[in-house]
Amino acid sequence: MSDPIRIAGLTKKFRRTPVLKGIDLTVPRESVFALIGPNGAGKTTTIKIAMNILRPTAGRAEILGIDSRRLAGRDFTRIGYVSENQEMPDWMTVDYFLRYLRPFYPAWDDALAAQLIGRFNLPGGRKLKHLSRGMRMKAALASSLAYRPEVIVLDEPFTGLDPLARDEFIEGLLERSQNTTVFISSHDLADIETFASHIAYLEDGRIQFSEELSALADRFREIEITFDAAPPLPPDLPASWLRPESSAAVIRFTDSRYDAARTNAEIRARFPGVRDISATPMPLRSIFVTVAKSAQRAAA
Amino acid sequence: MTQTLHIFRKDIRRFRYELCAVAALTAAFAWSHIAADVPGPADFGRTVALAFLTTFFLAGAWWFLVSQLIHEESLAGDRQFWVTRPYAWRSLLAAKLLFVIAFVNGPLLAAQMAILAAAGYRPLAGIPQLLWMQFAVAAMLLAPAIALGTVTRNLAQFVLTILGGVLSWYVVLAALVPSQAIGSSCVNQAVGVPVVCAGAALIVVWQFSRRATTASIRAGLCTLLLAGVLYYGLPMPVRDAIRSSVFHQPEAKAVSVSIPPLNALGYGHDSGSGRLGINLRFTIHCAPEGEVAWPEMLDVTLEAPAGLRWASGTQFASRSYPVSTPDPREINYIHTLYLPREFYRVVRGTAVSIHGSMRLSLRRQTTVPLPHGQATRIPGGGYCDVSQAQDQWTVFCSSPFRRPFDTSSGSGVDVDHGPAGFARYTSMQLLSAPESPFPDFAVSPVFTIQTVSPTDAEISFVRESPRAWIERDFAASVSMPVEH
């Protein structure tokens, strides 16, 4: 079975401003793939191109083996899409919205739709325009899960949601998306960390890394080296040692290619007077901040 | 088809209040036109104004409804929920067109049939013309609105684009199009209007199938530019060629144009713009029996002995001064040429060579006297009713699918009517000169005009049907008048 989303050399310019600069990405089947990055990195543009809402300047995106530029009509019976800034038919009630969508999807499951409405506590008779932001997102998610899509794409779904709504949204998504590939963009790293299986980091239109979350967590460590008296930082530190800093008796950095034996050996080779080395696992948020700041420093 | 009907039903539910408003306006439109199509109301002007207003508001309501209908599944922008749902663009487009046909064209057709029946015409006999009117309304009013709806995101953009477009159009017209070129003929319309319709259709299909808004906007601007160029800038030889091919009449060969050798040029008058008006008399000979030859366009070149030369370029011919001659097959027309004052100063009082060409339309005349105090059938299926009102006669004419007449003119002796000015004719002529074989563009199928005639005027209705469009050369030597 091929990967449901494949992106190769994707480039997008708005007039002369480049937003995506040739990104490559592969989303494995049945993964929960998080595309993270700071505001303006190009996450939404990537997703909109993948969904054929925007057209690429160069390169291509494929979803379920279909070139995104040809994605249309019946193809969307296998794909769900929920976005924070999507305009909904506000005049419809929740019930009518789901009833209206039902004939578009041969695989629509009425029982599942009813379950989702109950699960999300959606008021069926209320118009979409009278729902809170969280409720609207949940209504959109319910309408995108009720036909059991093979791929569900979520663009910044947590923006503006309170913690309770966020939890309900994530739980509802995970409960009903078995056998489904989830592609989600977000900068809400704490939540992503709890359920994503894969992660890609997009910055300034380029993918900085893309891998399994567990592998990412394994290779990033916050290293603290203790000395009797810390030596000055040498200029030729490895490129994988990010944001090195030195204080009275301590040198700290983030190792982005951590391997206990190799890292310890390299530290001892560079700093013979080491008294102690500690390697602390990092939460995703810290990894994100470290990588972002390193990129900013390199760009400056 | 299933998806089309599903979207159609959803749109009915969505726009149920708007549909009620459009239905009420359609009923008001029918009622106001029925009221205006009755001969002899004292407040004819008021009923006509009301009919105009209801038509205006109905057209506005259609545009509003169409824009809302298209914006319901907006094609411009990148945030619409429906673009990532399994909509088939053909089904969506079909649903929108079905909605327009069902709730704009359908009620309009019913209203038009009611108006025809109330005015005494048989609606079923006019089905082809009614269908043509539906097509014309769809092509000239609704298709541009649908096209504009597809490239705008909301009502505010839609309205602002219309206002900006109208303003730009008039600015461009004022800046680029010479005033004498402003004036429509059926040939201008026949080439300009289809371009607008085809462009609108192209944009609609393109937007629904590709959602390429920027490209569609460019296509729309090119369409308007092309339509404007064809409408206002169609070269006269092309226009004449089209007319000649449409109105072909071999027996028109005998017609000729000449300039009488003596006193051909009348005294001039200052036009106030550095030019001097010189009246030039043309005689048109041998129009076929029962037909009249109208000068339409002409080119004139004056050549003085010293090698001095002036060419008028193609001008619209003056048609306001037909003068009868003793020969019933001849008629004189006077055309005013505006010469540069410098040229005139050199050639005045001298003999000049004058030559050029005139384009004429040959029209078959049908004259119907309109007796006082009764209604009379007129060509085209309508009637004119002449009834007395106080010290004058009211002439009310009604016709299905066409204006009953285009101009009215009188001849005779003027008398002082006090504040109303001078008006007393011994005869009055209502002239109808349709050029297009199709119904006039309008929303109502019945056209009415009311005018007033002094009591002693003999009133007649003249229908001139175009039969041929011909070009004739002329040449003469004439003496230039001396300014006084």
Contacts of residues B122-130 at CB distance under 8 Å and 24 or more positions apart, as own/partner, are: B126/B400, B126/B401, B126/B445, B129/B400, B129/B401, B129/B439, B129/B445, B130/B445
Nearest alpha-carbon partner for A3 in A68, A62, A56:
A62
Mean pLDDT of A20-47: 92
**Angle ∠(B57,B137,B53) on CA atoms, nearest 5:** 20
**Nearest partner of B191 among B436, B484, B483, judged by Cα:** B436
Inter-residue contact A227 to A274 (CB < 8 Å): yes
User: Quick one: DSSP state of residue B404?
Assistant: S
If residue B69 lies in a helix (H) or strand (E), which one and from where to where? helix B44-72
Q: How confident is the model at residue A280 (pLDDT cuts 50, 70, 90)?
A: very high
Residue B229 has pLDDT above 50, yes or no: yes
For residue B354, CA distances in Å to A226, B310, B318 come to 112, 10, 18
Segment B305-309 shows an average pLDDT of 83
A56-70, A72-86, B21-35, B331-345: range with lowest mean pLDDT: B331-345
Whole-number pLDDT of residue B429: 84
- Pick the range with the lowest mean pLDDT from A174-178, B64-68, B183-187: B183-187
Mean pLDDT on A238-256: 88
ipTM of the complex: 0.87
Q: Domain coordinates of chain B in residue numbers?
A: 2-234, 261-360+468-479, 367-466
Pairwise CB contact (< 8 Å): A103 & B10 = no
The reported pLDDT for the residue numbered B41 is 60
CA dist B244 and B242 (Å) reads: 5
> Are the beta carbons of B14 and A101 separated by less than 8 Å?
no
Give A-chain residues touching B78 at CB under 8 angstroms.
48, 53-54
Contact B78 A72 (CB under 8 A): no
Minimum Cα–Cα distance from B2: chain A residue = A103
Q: Give the whole-angstrom CA distance, residue B230 versus residue A248.
A: 84
Q: Which residue has the higher pLDDT, B218 or A233?
A: B218
Among candidate residues B394, B459, B452, the one with its CA nearest the CA of residue B426:
B459
**B-chain residues near A75 (CB < 8 A):** 86
Q: Do A251 and A271 contact (CB within 8 A), yes or no?
A: yes
Q: What distance in Å separates residue A81's CA from the closest CA in chain B?
A: 7
Question: Nearest Cα to A61, choosing from A2, A7, A9, A19?
Answer: A7
Residue count (chain B): 484
Contacting B with CB below 8 Å, chain A residues are 48, 51-54, 72-77, 79, 81, 83, 85-89, 91, 100-101, 103-105, 140
Q: A65 with A39: CB under 8 angstroms?
A: no
Q: Is the pLDDT higher at B294 or at B107?
A: B107
Burial (Cβ within 10 Å: 0-12, 13-18, ≥19) of residue B311: exposed
Q: Which two tokens mark B223?
A: 């369409």
Residue B255 has pLDDT above 60, yes or no: yes
**Do the Cβ atoms of B462 and B242 come closer than 8 Å?**
no
Judged against a pLDDT cut of 90, whether residue A235 lies above it is answered with no
Q: How far apart are CA A11 and CA A13, in angstroms?
A: 7
* Average pLDDT value for residue range A264-284: 89
**Who contacts A163 (Cβ-Cβ below 8 Å, separation ≥6)?**
none
**Residue A207 has what pLDDT?**
92
Structure-block tokens of residue B203: 């944009």
Q: Cα angle at B142 between B136 and B144, to 5 degrees?
A: 105
- Amino acid in the structure at residue B115: I
pLDDT number for residue A171: 86
Enumerate long-range contacts of B339-343, CB under 8 Å, 24 or more apart: B339/B268, B339/B275, B339/B276, B339/B278, B339/B302, B339/B310, B340/B274, B340/B275, B340/B276, B340/B310, B341/B274, B341/B275, B341/B276, B343/B302, B343/B308, B343/B310
Q: B329 pLDDT exceeds 80?
A: no
- Phi then psi for residue B104, to 5 deg, are -115, -60
How many angstroms separate the CA atoms of A205 and A193, rounded? 22
CA-wise closest residue to B99 among B193, B8, B225: B8
Determine the average pLDDT of the residues in A183-193.
85
Give how far Cα B359 sits from Cα of B236, B255, B322, B339, B468, Å. Answer: 10, 11, 16, 21, 10
CB–CB of B372/B482 below 8 Å? no
Phi, psi of B56 (to 5 degrees): -60, -45
Question: Per-residue confidence at B323, pLDDT binned at 50, 70, 90?
Answer: low
Give the model's confidence band at B321: pLDDT under 50 very low, under 70 low, under 90 confident, else very high: low
Helices B16-36 and B44-72: crossing angle, nearest 10°? 160
Q: What is the pLDDT, as a whole number, of residue B304?
A: 85
The mean per-residue pLDDT over the stretch B121-144 comes to: 93
Per-residue pLDDT at A58: 95
Q: Do B84 and A87 touch (CB under 8 A)?
A: no
pLDDT value, residue A40: 87
The class that CATH gives domain A5-212 is alpha beta
DSSP string, B98-161: HHHIIIIIHHHHHHHHHHHHHTT--GGGGHHHHHHHHHHHIIIIIHHHHHHHHH-SSHHHHHHH
Chain A CB contacts of B10 under 8 Å are 100
Question: In degrees, to the nearest 5, what angle opens at C-alpha A126 toward C-alphas A125 and A130?
Answer: 175
| B186-193 average pLDDT score | 75
**For residues B283 and B260, what is the distance between their CA atoms, to the nearest angstrom?**
7
Is pLDDT above 70 for B449?
yes
Q: What is the distance between the alpha carbons of residues A53 and A46, in angstroms, rounded to a whole number?
A: 10
pLDDT at A220: 92
Residue B119 CA, distance from chain mean position: 24
Position B177 scores a pLDDT of 64
* Element of type H or E holding A6: strand A5-14
Evaluate whether A26 touches A7 at the Cβ level (below 8 Å): yes
Q: A279 by DSSP, 3-state: which?
A: strand
Q: What is the CATH number of domain B261-360+468-479?
A: 2.60.40
Total CB pairs under 8 A between chain A and B: 52
User: What pLDDT was estimated at residue B414?
Assistant: 55
pLDDT of residue B40: 65
Give the confidence band of A164 by pLDDT, cuts at 50, 70, 90: confident
Model pLDDT, residue A271:
85
Q: Give the model confidence (pLDDT) of B367-415 as tens digits.
A: 899 998 889 999 888 999 988 877 778 888 999 998 999 888 776 655 4
Mean pLDDT: which of A212-221, A280-289, B50-59, B417-426 is highest? Answer: B50-59
Selection from A67, A43, A40 nearest residue A55 by Cα: A67
> In the predicted model, what is the mean pLDDT of residues B419-437?
71
What tokens appear for A27 in the block? Answer: 């989303």
To the nearest whole percent, how much of chain A has pLDDT over 70? Answer: 99
**Residues of A whose CB is below 8 A from B74:** 87
- Choice between A297 and B14, residue whose per-residue pLDDT is larger: B14
Per-residue confidence (pLDDT) for residue A96, from 0 to 100:
96
pLDDT for residue B425 is more than 60:
no
| pLDDT at residue number B432 | 87
Distance from CA of B2 to the nearest CA of A (A): 9
- What share of residues in chain B are helix, strand, coil (percent, to 5)? 45, 25, 25
What's A239's DSSP letter? Answer: T
CB contact under 8 A, A104 and B14: no
In the predicted model, what is the mean pLDDT of chain B? 84
Distance from CA of B214 to the nearest CA of A (A): 12
pLDDT beyond 70 at B37: yes
What pLDDT score was predicted for residue B347? Answer: 83
Position B270 confidence tier, pLDDT thresholds 50, 70, 90: low
What are the boundaries of each domain within chain A?
Answer: 5-212, 221-281
Question: What's the pLDDT score for residue B264?
Answer: 47
For residue B182, pLDDT over 50 is answered with no
Q: Are B78 and A53 inside 8 Å of each other by CB? A: yes
Could you tell me what percent of chain B has a pLDDT over 70? Answer: 86
Burial class (CB in 10 A: 0-12, 13-18, 19+), B245: exposed
Say whether pLDDT at B326 is over 80. no
The token duo for A197 is 């299986």
How far, in Å, CA of B150 to CA of B128, rounded? 31
Q: Which residues of B touch A91 (CB under 8 A)?
A: 14
**Is the CB of B86 less than 8 angstroms away from the CB of A86?**
no
Residue A129 pLDDT more than 80? yes
